[in-house]
A and B are shown apart, each in its own frame.
Chain A
Amino acid sequence: MTEPAREPVVDIRDLRVTFATDGGDVAAVKGVSLQLLPGEVLAVVGESGSGKTVTARTVLGLLPETALTRGAVVLRSKDGATTSDVVTLSGGDLRRVRGRDVAMVFQEPGSVLNPVYPVGWQIAEGLRAHGDVSKKEARATAVDVLRRVGIPDPEVRVDHYPHQFSGGQKQRIVIAQALALNAGVIVADEPTTALDVTVQAEILDLLRRCRDEFGASIVLITHNMGVVADLADRVAVMYQGELVETADVATLFAAPQQEYTKKLLASVPKLGQGAVRARDRAARRPAGWADQAPVVVARDLRIVYPGRFRQPDFTAVDGVDFTIAPGEVLGLVGESGSGKSTIGRAIAGLTKVSGGSLQVLGTEVAGLGEKAFRPVRKRIGFVFQDPATSFNPLLTIADAVAEPLVVHGRAGDTDDARGRVDELLEAVQLPKEFGDRFPHELSGGQRQRASLARSLALQPELLIADEPTSALDVSVQARVLDLFDELQREFGFAALFISHDLAVVDLLADRIAVLHRGRLVEEGTGEQVLGDPQDAYTQRLLASLPVPDPAEQAERRARWSALR
């Protein structure tokens, strides 16, 4: 697959990692062999629990003390002069290797940087650890590397603290830390997962430059197939601690060999898939559907969070107009801070409306008290983002699903409602025995399905789904989205589907509304918004979205660069 002349910079041989946990030993990695060649981006993909992060962390010797590592991870320094087996190294030897031969870029840039030191100091910290450098030299290096990762005014910014930078800039600084020592290998653990899609494109571009300009080899850990298609040269697919398939990126996407890889690729939502479904639904609607009274009408909706300690108020939603007709799915897309969740919460009565008008199921919500809103609540269902936290950990699934029925007097207690609960669990394709389980005994996807069952308990006319699949693995996400679509057809509820992922929204929504900094920039059917975006922001958003196809992504990347 590659010319034999190139020696690998990282050679992982039959790596096995076992963790000691309360529930006994857990084998996280079961005999993985991988090689990273110089100047290569190797993407390690897999679902949560596949062992991809553990594998990558062994390259730095960053595993906790409960881990037992077997096998070898041979690391070659950048000039090829020395090799060392990281598994057997400890203490000082390990510290010498870290930073010089291999560096790490973490997932959450906000928590990786120490908030009480200026960023320049933190970059210099690595330099100081690996040799005697004067303050002046360290500072000069920090300024230089900051400039090279694209921080404007590095001479000034080098003395700024992490909170003075945006999320994307913070990730640039973390990458700068890795580059400051000119490490041969960079391990990037989900480097863009915490970032918005437009920022993600910039960071991916920077990582590409790390390879091209700095000559670093990169191990990229991700679950996002779009990112893989954008950046990787070679891909290793992992599943349950084992290596399923390794291939170069074009081959993998074009002709996956293993069943698991095929399934994984098939479950990635792609832009444009939803158009057919939307047309289908539109055709099925009875005549006169458009004349019905809409379930939600927002006119010049404004939501302001009051500022604290004399800081100015924050306007989360700024003059937004939209309507949702009965039985219609409106997809609300935007980046973090765009106000999309705030709108969903306002409709559910969790956030107060500050101005304008918001009618939900014929009731004006603005200025309405909790008591007056309560009758409306039973006609609204809500699905939360994180199924792990949206269930009371001390109640069984049956208790949780029965709760709406009990609260609204449809049933005396859980036992009384059990028949209905079983029906609901069946509707979301969960065995009814799951009713007796506690939330932590279910997987993420199962929990989100239970969450759907709970939100449908009162047969709501309106369902608000706030990023219902963003905490789930991609294969699980596909099933939950299918289920959502099925349920919507069966129950006929109107829905507000909130997501940051354009492809997911496209799959389900009849109409798509794009939010940017609290304003509605564009609204229309999926075909209109995604096919022919009018607003500059929508165009940028679409161009930044990496598609899971290396050839197409290369084209898109060119277009994206042009748009910048």
Chain B
Amino acid sequence: MSRRRTWRSLPVVHQLRQSVGLQRGMLVTGLVLTGLLVLTALLAPLLAPYGFSQLRGPDGTFGAQQAPSADHLLGTTVGGYDVLSRVLYGTRTALFVIVVAIVLSIVAGVLLGLVSGYLGGWLDRVLVVVADAVYAFPSLLLAIVAAIVISGGQSSLVGGVLAAAVSITVVFVPQYFRVVRAETVRIKNEAFVESARVVGTSTWRIMTRHVLRNATRSLPLIVTLNASEAILTLAGLGFLGFGIQPTAAAEWGYDLNRSIADVTSGIWWTSIFPGAAIVLTVLGLTLVGESLNDLADPRLRSRRRAADAPPPADVAVTPGGGLAAGTDGSTP
């Protein structure tokens, strides 16, 4: 069954091979930035000169708000932490929160969307109304409420990260729910699902074998876009003081919050670096997401031109009309 499914048809790899020109540039930039994020998170203990909650070295305390120097390449914060170490360790928190938030919201969202879309009826109506209600809330407010409910204001490492992740999950579940539900409703009426019903396939088997895998095609795209949103929500929570304590984990939003006062007194290093980390992470993930989005749509995808033609244009359409490649040609 996997004869023709090599690594080349994996989601991101496939699109990378397919892309050309500017779109390829965007995708590669995004992938490099995201790759750096993951690498840094994995190697943070090796890369960082100090621990994220370390206040003193062999020569005594670091001192607060020290300018960048040989000892502290990016200076120290108002709390006396090493900025470089906090920024590097921050990638771990960011990645951890992204992964937990997205795994949780995918599991919940896909399951609910599948059941809701396929079975329909009153369950569907209730779930859609709930999802719409969640949408109606400002997401940050919702995340704050969730954070308070979950952690009760206490924020240990696991508790704080989980609180952040779960509160982001609450915001994201409706998105996955809606996308999967819409796809399920569409696929439910496809001939191949009817064909399964005619054979007498059980509802559960139809949902898992025939509908599920076809309904999740656009998920990689939402995942990347949501990942960047998760970072922003996490930073927002930290900035507003609902995040993780500095002793529990390094978190960019918290560091930014603490550096507000520094900005006016000319201490730039405490805010620039965590801020830049957020921007680069979000930029990387968004570039990947947007490129995947464009590549997934044949109307937005640019292609190499036929030989000896004018330079590439952005729009590329091949209507079914005369070619009918989808129905007639068998792929070599």
Contacts and interface: CB of A to CB of B under 8 A. Distances in A.
Q: Do A and B come from one complex?
A: yes
Interface of A: 18-23, 25-26, 28, 48-55, 57, 64-68, 189, 348-350, 374, 377-378, 380-382, 384-386, 388-396, 399-400, 403-404, 407-408, 414, 436-438, 440-444, 446, 454, 458, 471
A425 B204 CA distance: 28
A384 B195 contact: yes
Contact of B331 (A23, A48, A53): A23
Contact of A64 (B1, B18, B191, B317): B317
A64 B331 contact: no
Contacts of B202: 407
B93 to A, nearest CB: 37
Contacts of B331: 23, 440-441
Given A48-B328, A392-B214, A438-B4, A22 B18 contact: yes
B192 to A, nearest CB: 5
B330 A446 contact: yes
A68 B309 contact: yes
B195 A454 contact: yes
A20 B326 contact: no
A471 B328 CA distance: 11
B324 A374 contact: no
Given A21-B318, A25-B307, A64-B319, A403 B325 contact: no
| Best-buried of B195, B209, B214 by chain A (most CB within 10 Å) | B195
Given A21-B303, A403-B199, A350 B194 contact: yes
B317 A390 contact: no
A471 B209 CA distance: 26
B191 A390 contact: yes
A297 to B, nearest CB: 20
Given A20-B316, A23-B331, A49 B322 contact: yes
| The 5 A-B residue pairs with the shortest CB-CB distance in the complex, in nearest-first order | A54-B322, A377-B200, A53-B322, A390-B191, A68-B306
B318 A391 contact: no
Given A390-B192, A442-B330, 20 more contacts: A19-B306, A19-B318, A20-B303, A22-B18, A48-B328, A49-B323, A54-B321, A54-B322, A68-B305, A68-B308, A348-B198, A377-B198, A380-B198, A382-B194, A390-B195, A392-B192, A393-B214, A407-B199, A436-B1, A440-B331
B304 A384 contact: no
Nearest to B211: A392
Interface string B24-36: 0000000000000
Nearest to A399: B1
Nearest to A438: B4
Interface of B: 1, 3-4, 18, 190-192, 194-202, 205, 209-210, 213-214, 303-309, 313, 315-319, 321-331
Given A28-B322, A28-B323, A48-B324, A443 B316 contact: no
Nearest to A378: B200
Given A378-B200, A385-B191, A66 B316 contact: yes
A440 B326 CA distance: 7
Given A49-B329, A54-B323, A64-B316, A386 B199 contact: no
Contacts of B3: 436
A350 B190 contact: no
Nearest to B3: A436
Given A25-B306, A66-B305, A436-B3, A404 B199 contact: yes
Which of B3, B200, B209 has the most chain A CB within a 10 Å cutoff?
Answer: B200
Contacts of A390: 191-192, 194-195
Given A20-B303, A53-B321, A443-B329, A350 B197 contact: yes
Nearest to B321: A53
Contact of A52 (B200, B209, B322): B322
B303 A443 contact: no
11 contacts: A20-B304, A28-B323, A51-B322, A54-B322, A54-B323, A68-B305, A393-B192, A438-B4, A441-B330, A443-B327, A443-B330
B214 A21 contact: no
B200 A65 contact: no
B166 to A, nearest CB: 32
B324 A396 contact: no
B306 A388 contact: no
A381 B198 CA distance: 8
A66 to B, nearest CB: 5
A241 to B, nearest CB: 9
Given A51-B322, A64-B317, A380-B198, A444 B1 contact: no
Contacts of A392: 192, 196, 209-210, 214
A403 B201 contact: yes
Contacts of B305: 20, 66, 68
B303 A396 contact: no
Contacts of B328: 48-49, 443-444
Contacts of B326: 388, 440
A496 to B, nearest CB: 13
Given A54-B323, A66-B316, A392-B210, A384 B306 contact: no
Nearest to A385: B191
Contacts of B209: 392, 395
B331 to A, nearest CB: 5
Residue of A48, A380, A388, A436 most packed against chain B (CB within 10 A) = A48
A534 B43 CA distance: 86
A341 to B, nearest CB: 11
B196 A403 contact: yes
A65 B321 contact: no
Contacts of A394: 213-214
B1 A396 contact: yes
B8 to A, nearest CB: 13
Nearest to A398: B1
A532 B202 CA distance: 47
B317 A407 contact: no
Contacts of A384: 191, 194-195
A443 B331 CA distance: 9
Nearest to B196: A403
Nearest to B202: A407
Nearest to A414: B1
Nearest to B213: A394
A382 B200 CA distance: 12
Nearest to B190: A389
A350 B195 CA distance: 10
A414 B1 CA distance: 9
A175 B4 CA distance: 47
Contacts of B205: 407
Contacts of A382: 194-195, 198
A308 to B, nearest CB: 14
Contacts of B18: 22
A445 to B, nearest CB: 9
Contact of A407 (B200, B214, B303, B327): B200
Given A49-B329, A54-B323, A446-B330, A22 B317 contact: no
